[in-house]
């Protein structure tokens, strides 16, 4: 009888505690912080290989091709 | 380096849709998804204006604010990009965007939303630059090749400008000054005369 009472008392306790060992199965998102894969700056890879200055000069030159007043005059 | 921006000169846009075609061609964009489109107001009546619209790469982007999974990021030069592996296709960004930039493929059964797709300023995404994975998910990375977005570089009238905000603002300022200096009739520095010079063609086709 004592054993039965102990089991009856222990069972809810075990079930109650078992939830504590449960691991989180969903990703916890932190609002306002990018959660995806990291990206590299556009000048990091070839052909610029990290030369930010060269990349900026190239883009500045390229941008001026949109200015037809400079192209024609 | 300042922020990368688009600027569309409504006085010059002739609604040729060359920018839309260039974008679709460059990134192999599927049917039904338009990263860029041309919007026309007062279509067919005097005062008609067209403007080419895509993601404006906002400094305080609403899509970033509402994304429940925070898949958006802003890169070093101010281009707003997102991670498609993280996107759940909820469509919140579409509701939040004032320009209707986020696009959703509708190819699945029951018309389910796919991963969001939008203009990347030809800057790819969070995959190795120039890799097949980057092309498949985000399109070509022209920025890493030292090129500007295809839509702007292909624009025949140079209505659409793209690049460093300071540089394109200076180009536009210069253009406006030249227009104003033309001094056509009593015309202000906008309208047909200032954009192209001479008189506006009559409805019959002769000016």
Q: Which residues of A touch B (CB under 8 A)?
A: 27, 29-48, 52, 55-56, 58-60, 62-69
Residues of A in contact with B126 (CB under 8 A): 36-39
* Model pLDDT for residues B45-90, shown as the tens digit of each residue: 888 999 999 999 998 899 999 999 999 999 989 999 999 999 999 9
Q: How far apart are the C-alpha atoms of B24 and B22, rounded to whole Å? A: 6
The answer to whether B173 contacts chain A (CB < 8 Å) is no
How far away is chain B from the Cα of A15, in angstroms, using its nearest Cα? 33
pLDDT of residue B109: 60
Residues paired with residue B73 on neighbouring β-strands, in sequence order: B81
Asked if the Cβ–Cβ distance from A31 to B175 is below 8 Å, we say no
Sign of the torsion formed by the C-alpha atoms of B144, B146, B152 and B154: negative
Domain ranges for chain B, please list them.
Answer: 4-182
Whether residue B159 lies within 8 A of chain A, CB to CB, comes out as: no
Identify which of A65, A56, A72, A26 has the alpha carbon closest to the alpha carbon of residue B178: A72
pLDDT digits (tens, 9 = 90+) for B159-189: 999 999 999 999 998 887 777 666 555 666 5
Rounded distance between C-alpha atoms, residue B5 and residue A10, angstroms: 67
To the nearest whole angstrom, how far is the Cα of A73 from the nearest Cα of chain B? 13
Contact B148 A69 (CB under 8 A): no
Decide if A59 and B146 are in contact by the 8 Å CB cutoff.
yes
**0.85 surpassed by complex ipTM:** no
H helices of chain A, in order, are 2-18, 52-64, 68-72
Using a CB-CB cut-off of 8 Å, the residues of chain A touching B144 are 42-45, 48
For residue A4, the model assigns a pLDDT of 83
The CATH architecture annotation of domain B4-182 reads 2-Layer Sandwich (3.30)
How close does chain A come to B53, measured CA to CA in Å?
A: 18
Mutate: best of A42, A47, A67, partner B, most B CBs <10 A? A42
Instruction: Name, in order, each residue with C-beta under 8 angstroms of B88's C-beta and a sequence gap of 6 or more.
Output: B68, B69
- Pick from A26, A28, A34, A72 the residue to mutate for testing the B interface (most B CBs within 10 Å): A34
Which residues touch B8 (CB under 8 Å, ≥6 apart)? B51, B52, B53, B159, B160, B161
Hunting for tokens 């102990």 — which residue is that? Answer: A6
Nearest to B187 by CA among B173, B200, B174: B200
pTM comes to 0.80
Length of chain B: 207
Q: At what angle do helices A52-64 and B165-182 cross, to 10 degrees?
A: 20
Q: How many CA atoms lie within 13 A of B79 on its CB side?
A: 31
Instruction: Evaluate whether B116 touches B103 at the Cβ level (below 8 Å).
Output: yes
Whether A66 sits inside 8 A of B152 (CB atoms) is yes
Per-residue pLDDT at B167: 93
Chain A CB within 8 Å of residue B151 CB: no
- Which chain B residue lies closest to A58 (C-alpha atoms)? B146
Q: Taking all residues of chain A, what is their mean pLDDT, rounded to a whole number?
A: 82
């Amino acid at each position: 009888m004592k054993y039965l009472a102990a089991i009856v008392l222990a069972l809810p306790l075990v079930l109650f505690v078992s939830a504590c060992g449960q691991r989180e199965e969903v990703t916890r998102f932190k609002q306002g912080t990018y959660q995806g894969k990291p990206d590299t700056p556009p000048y990091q890879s070839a052909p610029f290989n990290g030369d930010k200055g060269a990349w900026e000069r190239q883009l500045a030159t390229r941008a001026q091709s949109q200015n037809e007043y400079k192209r024609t005059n | 380096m300042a922020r990368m921006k688009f600027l569309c000169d409504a006085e010059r846009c002739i609604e040729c849709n060359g920018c839309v075609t260039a974008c679709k061609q460059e990134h192999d964009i599927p049917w039904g998804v338009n990263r860029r489109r041309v919007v026309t107001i007062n279509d067919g009546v005097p005062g008609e204006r067209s403007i080419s619209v895509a993601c404006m790469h906002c400094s305080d982007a609403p899509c970033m604010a509402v994304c429940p999974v925070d898949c958006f990021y802003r890169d070093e030069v101010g281009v707003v990009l997102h991670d498609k592996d993280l996107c759940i296709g909820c469509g919140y960004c579409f509701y939040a965007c004032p320009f209707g930039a986020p696009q959703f493929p509708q190819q699945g059964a029951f018309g389910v939303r796919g991963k969001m797709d939008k203009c990347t300023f030809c800057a790819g995404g969070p995959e190795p630059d120039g890799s097949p994975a980057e092309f498949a998910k985000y399109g070509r990375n022209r920025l890493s090749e030292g090129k500007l977005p295809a839509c702007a570089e292909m624009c025949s009238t140079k209505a659409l400008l793209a690049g460093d905000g300071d540089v394109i603002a200076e180009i536009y300022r210069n253009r406006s000054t030249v227009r104003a200096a033309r001094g056509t009739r009593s015309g202000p520095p906008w309208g047909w005369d200032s954009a192209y010079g001479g008189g506006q063609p009559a409805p019959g086709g002769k000016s």
